[in-house]
Amino acid sequence: MPREASAANYGAVETTTAAQRDERAARNGGQPTLEFGQRVPYDSYVHASTLHTLQRTISGDPGEMSFLVVSQIMELYFKLIRHELAQARDHVRADRPWPALAPLRRAALHLEGLNAAWQTLRWMTPGDFNRFRDLLGEGSGFQSAMYRQVEFALGLRNRALIRPFRGSPAFDELTAAIQEPSLWDEVIRLLARAGHDIDAKSIDRDFQEEHEPDPTVAEAWVHIYRTDGPDNHLRMLGEALTEVADRFGDWRYLHLKAVQRTMGAKTGTGGSNGLAWLQRSMNRTVFPELWIARTDM
């Protein structure tokens, strides 16, 4: 990255070379640098001082900080996962299944981190949550725009779920996201370009609608998995996608269990019927033909 671009993007961050770092270490006698200008370089890059101003609890309950911080951590993971899925989609779109494996594997690992965040809320009983729940008003994780971005990238689509964001910048971003092919749409197109006989209705369709399982796509995956050889990049792609779908399924299950643990079947803060809504959501399968193919093999 050019120094000019670095300064524009990161403020006071100054790039260094390996030689400069070695020279500084020698000058410091191997000790860390302790004197800087107005801002520590780490903070200039990470913006930690800004990040730590965002935990603004609304009650005096000490447990609310856990709830708020974990929610913000999850939002950051959503952004990271969406970033990786976009990278993978772009590689698949350009007929590069091999390079798509790395961002998919990273996405699966990020989902593991996301799922682990639920563990730090296991202390919360219904009584603990109820101490500050009313102060949340109608605020709900259901209203997370970045989570919707992740769902749209995976191919889970419902145009009605954009409506809460009217009047915010997220509305235009979500509208654009639901109108373009998902990662799974691009995978199906890749299979067709690779010579598999895919039904045209799965290739030329309204991307705002959720993809319906297609037997021709499942048949293509059966053929791919039955083809031996270390150069079968499509099979590797299928396994990387399966791992992402599996970890995302874990997220949805852990979300449901967390809700069940802290509020049972009560009405959700966002107006849904809470547990029942989450149970219905779990029935929407990510990359459905990969699972259907496992039955057909």
Q: Which residues are annotated as a binding site for substrate?
A: 133, 269
Alpha-carbon gap, residue 257 to 96, rounded angstroms: 38
Q: Binding site for heme: which residues? A: 255
Q: Binding site: which residues? A: 133, 255, 269
* Residue among 28, 23, 3 nearest 13 (CA): 3
* Residue among 146, 129, 140, 143 nearest 74 (CA): 146
Alpha-carbon gap, residue 184 to 49, rounded angstroms: 38
Buried b (16+ CB within 10 A) or exposed e, 205-226: eebeeebeebebbbbbbbbbbe
The pair phi, psi for residue 59, each rounded to 5°, is -130, 175
**DSSP code per residue over 53-97:** T----SSS-TTHHHHHHHHHHHHHHHHHHHHHHHHHHHHHHTT-H
- The DSSP secondary-structure symbol of 105 reads H
Alpha-carbon gap, residue 89 to 38, rounded angstroms: 41
